[in-house]
Amino acid sequence: MFIITHDLEAALVCDKTAILRKGKLLDFDTPHNLISSLPSNGLLARLSIENLTGEIIDIIADFEHCEEVSRVGNDVVEVFLEDFEENLLPLIDYLLEREVKIMAMSRDVANFRRYFQLRIKREEEKDRLELLEK
């Protein structure tokens, strides 16, 4: 049996999931394996930051071990790190040194929706680069 849908929550009940974009198969695997293909096997830091701005997001993105940062709320970002366990505390120190006010922090595993958003973002960036090269 297979399901074709735009409902990302359907991945939670599927043994295997395929990601298609513009008629091209991007990925096909279990939802767990797809999420695990993200940096640090899908581990992320969710930070609530006082007065979150684009400038603060840029500061986070400039941290040498930051793989990806996504704004997911008015004052919340999710940060994927290279070697998550090793680099989480250095990230916090880095932000505090730059006077970024962290109101809350949690550690979590990415959900399938986040995987999908990052995968499509990566494809869109590839498309932009290809256009620039032409």
- Domain limits for position 47: 40-109
Looking at residue 6, what is its pLDDT? 77
Query: How many percent of the chain have pLDDT more than 70?
Result: 99
> What pTM does this model have?
0.85
Residue 1 pLDDT more than 60?
no
Same domain, 58 and 32: no
Residue 104 neighbours by CB under 8 Å, 6+ apart: 47, 48
Domain total for the chain? Answer: 2
Residues 29 and 56 in one domain: no
Q: φ, ψ for residue 7 (rounded to 5)? A: -80, 105
Same domain, 123 and 93: no
Which pLDDT band holds residue 65 (cuts at 50, 70, 90)?
very high
What integer pLDDT is reported at residue 28 of this predicted model?
93
Write the burial class of residue 128 (CB in 10 Å: 0-12 exposed, 13-18 middle, 19+ buried): exposed
Residues 32, 44, single domain; the answer is no
pLDDT at 89 over 60: yes
3, part of any domain: no
| Number of residues that make up the chain | 134
Q: Does residue 44 form part of some domain? A: yes
* CATH number, position 46: 3.30.70.980
Residues 45 and 95 in one domain: yes
